[in-house]
Amino acid sequence: MKEKLSGDRDMTKTVLEKLGWRTGLPALFVGLPAGLEALFADALPIDAPVPNWILAFAPDQRTLAILANGPVLTYQRGGHLWLAYPKKTGAIKTDLTRDLGWEVINDLDLLPVTQIAIDATWSALRFRYRDEIQKLTRKF
């Protein structure tokens, strides 16, 4: 599905493309909100026991802690680990922001390297292990 984000800098890419997903890539979705299935239809259902691409939704730090002890641990170096969180301007109350609330993930030696907007409600951060990052510069 070629659904675009309005106001986005690169209007030629879908959200899935911005998230690094390619056809056939083993994917794992965790907590996908009901209203977003159409946006990710091309990647559904490819849930795999050892996914190369993970997108997990964390509305708050409590949920993030659960993810940190489960799906996040399946992340393999060289893959894609995206953690989505509610935007401050959205309707979902949260204790996560781009800069705050990620200690449980950072404690696993995972650092945020890229941020994208999924829609008007959700943003996502891509995390990688510190030793995967050659030069520590962030794209957000």
Q: Give the domain range for residue 43.
A: 15-132
Task: Write down the pLDDT at residue 6.
Answer: 43
Q: Please check whether residue 56 lies inside any domain of the structure.
A: yes
Q: Please check whether residue 138 lies inside any domain of the structure.
A: no
Q: How far apart are the first and last CA of the chain?
A: 26
Q: Please check whether residue 6 lies inside any domain of the structure.
A: no
Task: Write down the pLDDT at residue 139.
Answer: 57
125: CATH: 3.40.50.150
Q: Give the predicted TM-score (pTM) of the model.
A: 0.84
What are the pLDDT digits (tens) for 46-71?
Answer: 556 678 899 999 999 999 999 999 98
Q: Please check whether residue 34 lies inside any domain of the structure.
A: yes
Q: Where are the beta strands (DSSP E) in 31-119?
A: 53-57, 80-86, 110-117
Task: Write down the pLDDT at residue 5.
Answer: 42
Q: Please check whether residue 137 lies inside any domain of the structure.
A: no
Task: Write down the pLDDT at residue 27.
Answer: 86
Q: Please check whether residue 7 lies inside any domain of the structure.
A: no
Q: Where are the beta strands (DSSP E) in 1-140?
A: 27-30, 53-57, 80-86, 110-117, 122-129
User: Low-confidence residues of the chain, pLDDT below 70?
Assistant: 1-11, 45-49, 136-140
- Count structural domains, the chain: 1
